[in-house]
Chain A
Amino acid sequence: MVGDSLAEDSVPVLGDADVDLGREVLLQLVDITKVYQLGSVRFQALTSVSFEIYHGEYVAITGPSGSGKSTLMHLIGCLDVPTSGQLLIDGKDVSRLNELELAQIRNEQIGFVFQQFNLLAPLTALQNVELPLMYGSHTKRERGERSLALLERVGLADHVKHRPNELSGGQQQRVAIARALVVGPSLILADEPTGNLDSKNAFDVLTLFDELHASGRTIVVITHDSEVASRASRIIRIRDGKLEPTQ
C-alpha cells in the first residue's frame, strides 16, 4: 500500500536533489577520532576514521553494538564534534563549530529518522512535520504547503490531523520521514529506522528509502541489521571504533 502511493514519483520536493551521482563529495571524514572522558576513565570510541559519502549515495553504516556506529552517527548528524580530525559537509568544516552553528547545520542540512520515531505527542502529524521549519525562517503558508505535500507523498494524506497515539508504528515512522524531508536536507540520516517495526512496515519504510534514493536523495542508514544494510548501495563496516576494510 505504501509502495503504491510512492510509485507516482512526480512530487518536486523529492526530486530536487539534482546531482551528478557519484562525483561530488557531500560528506568527508578525515582522520576522525572521538574520545570520551568519563571521570578518570578514558574511552576511545573512534580511531582515525576516514571516508567519503557522495551526493546521491545510499550508504549503510553497520557494526555490532559498541562498535562506535552511534558515535559516528552523532558526528555525521552534527549532534557532537570530534576530538580530532575534520568533518566536512559540502566542503565546509563543521568539526569546530559552536552549538549555535551546529544547530543551524542540523536544521538545514540533516534530516533525522530515529528508531523510536520521536514524534511529539501533543502535536498532530502535520504539526510534527512542520516542526523543523519552525526553527528556520519560513512563512506559515510555506510550512503548511510543504508539510502537506510530504505527508501526501508518504501516503498519509488522510491522517494529517491525527496525533501520534492515533497512528500505527509504520505510520508514525512515515510521519518522521516526512519530517526529515521537509527542510530539503542534503542528507537523510536514519538510525535503526526499522528497529521498532514489524517486517511488513519495515519493508514499506525501506521501499520508501529506495524511492528517495532513486529520486536522488543522499541517505545514510545506521543499522546492525544486515538485511537493512543490504538495501544500500554501499556498506561501511565499523568494529572497535575502526573502519573495517571494504571487501
Chain B
Amino acid sequence: MSWRNLLATAIEAVQWNRMRSVLTMLGIVIGIAAIMVTVGLGEGAQAKVKSTISALGSNLLTVSPGSSSSLQGVRGGLGSGSTLTLSDASALSNPQVAPAIKSTAPIVSGHETLTFGSANWTTTVYGTTPSWLSIRSRTLEEGRFLESSDLKSGSNVIVLGAVTAQELFGSKNALGQSVDVGGLPMTVVGVLAPVGTGTSATSNQDDLAIVPITTAEYSLLGTSSNDSVQSILIKSTSAATLSAAYQEADSELLMLHGITDPSNADFTIASEQSLVSAATSVSSTLTALLGGIAAVSLLVGGVGVMNIMLVSVTERTKEIGLRKALGATPSVIRRQFLAEASILGAAGGAVGGAVGILGQIFLPSVIKYPIEIPGSVTASSILAAISISLIFGVYPAARAARLSPIDALRSE
C-alpha cells in the first residue's frame, strides 16, 4: 500500500470518529499550547530583564568587596567584606591612572525611615558622590543634585526619588522641606525624575534617597570604618573602552591593596553584561521548569493518544480482520495505525500551535506581561506533538498488526 493511500485511509478513519479524534487531539493541543506560552513567557521575561538592566546605566562596572572565586581557605563571599575605600574610588577616577574610566561613584547604603510631619516612609538611603547622577544616567525632576561642597562639609542635604517624594509630601512641594532621617533633620534639595512608567520592575529605582557619602559615613549609617564603602560604580568613557576600564580598575585595585596574585583579589568587578547573564540564567531556569511542567502535560496528551488508539484497535478488530483477509500484511496494518496516530498528533500540534500564537497576541494585554514565542519553538512543538503521538502509537499499532485474521473476523 502506497504512503498516499495509507494517509488517505488514516484521514478517513480519523474523520469517521470525529468526536473521538477531537477529544484525543485536545490533550495534545493543551500540551503544545502550554509549552509555547510558558516558553514565550520565559523569553518575554528575559527580554524585559535585559532592557531593564540596560536602563540602569550604560558602560557600567560595579566593584564589590570580597571575591566570589575562592581557591583556598575561608574567604568572604561577594560583598561581605569592607575592603573598598573612598580613596580607592578617587584613585580610579584619576585619568592618569585609568584613562578608560570616565568617573566613579562610591556607594554606601542602608534602610532608614524618613519622617515628614505625620508621614513616614522607609526606603533605601544611598550615600554617594555627585558623579552618581551621570553614571546612573539619571536626571532631576526639580531642584539640584549633590554638589562637591555638600561632600566636603558633610552637609545635611538629601535628594529623593520620585516615589519617595510622592509618599512623603503627596502633592506638596518637597524642595526646601526638612525631613527627619533616622533622627537627623535633612533638607530636601532635589527630586529625581522617575525612570520607569511605574511598572514593578523599575519602581525601586524611583523609591530611594541620596545623601552625600560623607554625611552618610559620619552621621547617618555609621559604617564600621569611616572610610570603607559598599561598592564603587565605574563608568567607562564609552562602550568600546568598557573592557579596558575593567583591566585598569582591576590592576589598580590589586596594586592599591598590595595583592600580587590576581586570584587572591579581595574585590569583584561585575559588568552590566554579567548582571544580564545572571538575571537571564535565573529566568531561563524558571522557563525550563515551567516548560518541563508543560511538557508533562504533552506527555499526558500522548498517553491519551495511546489510550484512544488501543480502544480504536479493540473496536475495529473486525475491520482489521477483514483487511487482513483481503491481503493486508501485518506491516501495512501497523503503518495504518501509526499514520492515524501521527495525523492526530500533527492536527493536535497545528491547533495547539495556533492557540499558542493566539495566546502570544492576546494574553499580554490581560496579564500585563510580554510573551515572545520564537518561530523555532512553534516548529519544534508541532514536531514534538507528531513524535509523541507516533511513539505512543507504536504499541497499539503493534497490537493491531499481531491480531490473527480468524479471531479478528469472528469478533463482534
Contact = CB atoms under 8 A, between A and B. Distances in A.
Interface of A: 74, 77, 79-80, 99-100, 103-104, 106-108, 112, 114, 118, 120-123, 131-132, 134-136, 179, 183
A156 B1 CA distance: 27
A77 B404 CA distance: 14
A108 B409 CA distance: 19
Contacts of A132: 326-327
Nearest to B15: A122
Nearest to A74: B406
A118 B15 CA distance: 20
B16 A122 contact: yes
Top 8 closest pairs, chain A to chain B, by CB: A107-B327, A122-B16, A135-B327, A132-B326, A103-B329, A118-B322, A79-B405, A122-B12
Interface of B: 1, 5, 9, 12-13, 15-16, 318-319, 322-330, 332, 404-406, 409
Contacts of A179: 326
Contacts of A112: 325-326
Contacts of B318: 118
Given A122-B13, A134-B5, A106 B327 contact: yes
Nearest to A135: B327
A103 B328 contact: yes
Nearest to B17: A122
Given A79-B405, A134-B5, A120 B326 contact: no
A104 B405 CA distance: 14
23 contacts: A77-B325, A79-B406, A79-B409, A80-B404, A80-B406, A103-B328, A106-B324, A106-B325, A106-B327, A107-B326, A112-B326, A118-B409, A122-B13, A122-B15, A131-B323, A131-B326, A134-B1, A134-B9, A135-B327, A135-B329, A136-B327, A179-B326, A183-B327
A99 B322 contact: no
B324 A120 contact: no
Contacts of B15: 122
B329 to A, nearest CB: 5
Nearest to A101: B329
Given A79-B325, A100-B330, A104-B327, 10 more contacts: A77-B325, A79-B405, A106-B325, A106-B326, A118-B318, A120-B319, A121-B16, A131-B326, A135-B326, A135-B328
Contacts of B323: 131, 135
A99 B325 contact: no
A52 B8 CA distance: 42
Nearest to B329: A103
Contacts of B406: 74, 79-80
Q: Which of A80, A106, A108, A179 has the most CB of B within 10 A?
A: A106
Among B15, B318, B327, B332, the one with the most A-chain Cβ atoms within 10 Å of its Cβ is B327
A114 B329 contact: no
B326 A123 contact: no
A191 to B, nearest CB: 9
Nearest to B326: A132
B271 to A, nearest CB: 65
B327 A123 contact: no
A121 B5 CA distance: 17
Nearest to A131: B326
